[in-house]
Homo-oligomer: A and B are copies of this chain.
């Protein structure tokens, strides 16, 4: 492609309403333009990236045996009424009426449509397993669309839906999809993690998220140094410390702690580490048969944080998690919020696994401005129930036993999920099984945010000069930049020759033949993020060289003109 005949719509200024780096860079590099809130036009340069992502997703889905279909964007309300979602779905569902007043929506997802298709087309267990996918435009009417294509209202998804006769077959398809997603993100050249999204269920996880790692990611992921374990931090298991609880060494004693109402203050006041203290949180218990709600004490090591999702999933704890008021604490513990402790407390204790492993610890004495030191479980206070109720921290042992946990931030770009028979039951999607009996289908669904991947790739790969595309999805792989070509036929001739040679070698090449200053051209190519850059100038040609620079290289290097082609082929990983 010749830049002089191509829309290079780079911007010098960062648009004011772009909050995150990918949004800023996609606007500045001329990849997208905003049409309205959450609606973006893909300019030629951005669309090239999007199409490359699409192609990789399509090729790997095809390889997995999934069959591509294309369902309408506009869906009739009747199917959503059948599944019950017409009522359940909130303001994110863009509803509309056609000219005859009938209800439709712009599909944010296609479970109903595909289930309707399958119940009509698949008749027998012999037609199974089947997995149908599409790459298609969807709409989710976000209340506050932002972050460019990262959270747009209109976006492009790959959504797949599998249909299986039984759970075992669904498990197999699920594993195939897991492997396919890994192949896709491998080929995209992104650093990603498959993350358990539902660790609690019996029979193993039934949902995985795929995250592109990026410092700016909205989600926190814990993963093990051994590489076997990864989970969203909200769901990552904090395992019990190894070994036995140490034996008591100190005797319990009261200590005055005037005005020390936080763990941090207390530790500083007593000159101890926060990990030797305990914090006690009083929350509402689950209602009993008569609807009465007592209180429950949640006990954590002083330096740990409560994981509210884990806590409220416990049967004894009210859902949603509700902290006791100051009055309730005063009535129950006899003191203010900064001096509570387990010793002598008359409500049930739920003790975190790490707190349960402590000896000779410090805790509130249930008297204002007084704490206890040298406290030990069982000797001084019954242990109560031990549970996992905290957030993991970096350095925790991996639940899979493979090293310890690290925490990284990620952007969710894929999700695979076992739906079971939620939709097939509601919509009566059955086939005849081997015995000629009607069997409700088992379903899985598998999504990839195709347009979101473009933004996520940028969040992961950029510097202060612009985007650094992975080769697989770069809009162009090589930029051939001419300097003062409009004055020098020699430069233009050499550039055209190299351009043709590289294209014949199968590379996507942008010939920057624009009549612009060298600085403008260099800045544009770096902003756009083209992985390899070759500069052709009169001075270089006179010296018999071209200048090469990889997008992430610190330095430029001069290459003899005669070696240019093999050098670039090698740099781009093409066979010479």
Residues of chain A touching chain B, judged by Cβ–Cβ distance below 8 Å, are: 5-7, 9, 33, 35-36, 39-44, 47, 50, 65, 67-76, 91-92, 94-99, 104, 106, 113, 116-117, 120-121, 130, 132, 137, 139, 141, 143, 153-154
Contacts and interface: CB of A to CB of B under 8 A. Distances in A.
- Which 9 pairs between the two chains have the least Cβ-Cβ distance? A96-B96, A42-B70, A91-B99, A36-B76, A39-B72, A44-B67, A41-B71, A99-B141, A72-B154
A39 B76 contact: yes
Chain B CB within 10 Å, residue with most, of A5, A41, A65: A41
Contacts of A7: 67, 121, 130, 132
Contact of A74 (B33, B71, B139): B139
Interface centre among A36, A44, A75, A143 (most CB of B within 10 A): A36
25 contacts: A7-B67, A7-B121, A7-B130, A9-B121, A33-B117, A35-B75, A36-B72, A39-B72, A39-B74, A39-B75, A41-B113, A43-B121, A44-B69, A44-B132, A73-B73, A73-B106, A73-B137, A73-B139, A73-B154, A74-B94, A74-B106, A74-B154, A98-B153, A99-B143, A106-B106
B98 A96 contact: no
A5 to B, nearest CB: 6
A31 to B, nearest CB: 11
B65 A5 contact: yes
Contacts of A39: 72, 74-76
A139 to B, nearest CB: 6
Contacts of A104: 36
A153 B44 contact: no
Contact of A141 (B6, B98, B117): B98
Contacts of A74: 39, 94, 106, 139, 153-154
Nearest to A110: B41
Contacts of A96: 94-97, 106
Nearest to A6: B67
Given A69-B47, A113-B41, A121 B76 contact: no
A178 to B, nearest CB: 20
Contacts of A33: 117, 120-121
Contacts of A99: 91-92, 94, 141, 143
A563 to B, nearest CB: 32
A482 to B, nearest CB: 17
A407 to B, nearest CB: 35
Nearest to A136: B137
Given A33-B117, A42-B70, 11 more contacts: A33-B121, A35-B72, A36-B75, A36-B104, A39-B75, A39-B76, A41-B71, A41-B72, A73-B154, A94-B99, A98-B153
Nearest to A51: B68
A120 B117 CA distance: 43
Contacts of A120: 33
A147 to B, nearest CB: 16
A41 B67 contact: no
A431 to B, nearest CB: 14
Contacts of A95: 96
A61 to B, nearest CB: 12
A176 B270 CA distance: 84
Contact of A70 (B36, B50, B97): B50
A44 B33 CA distance: 33
Nearest to A138: B73
Contacts of A70: 41-42, 47, 50
A42 B41 CA distance: 25
A401 to B, nearest CB: 39
A35 B154 contact: no
Contacts of A98: 94, 141, 153
A65 B69 CA distance: 30
Given A74-B106, A74-B139, A130-B7, A69 B91 contact: no
Contact of A41 (B50, B69, B76, B91): B69
Contacts of A92: 99
Contacts of A141: 98-99
Contacts of A139: 73-74
A110 to B, nearest CB: 9
A485 to B, nearest CB: 15
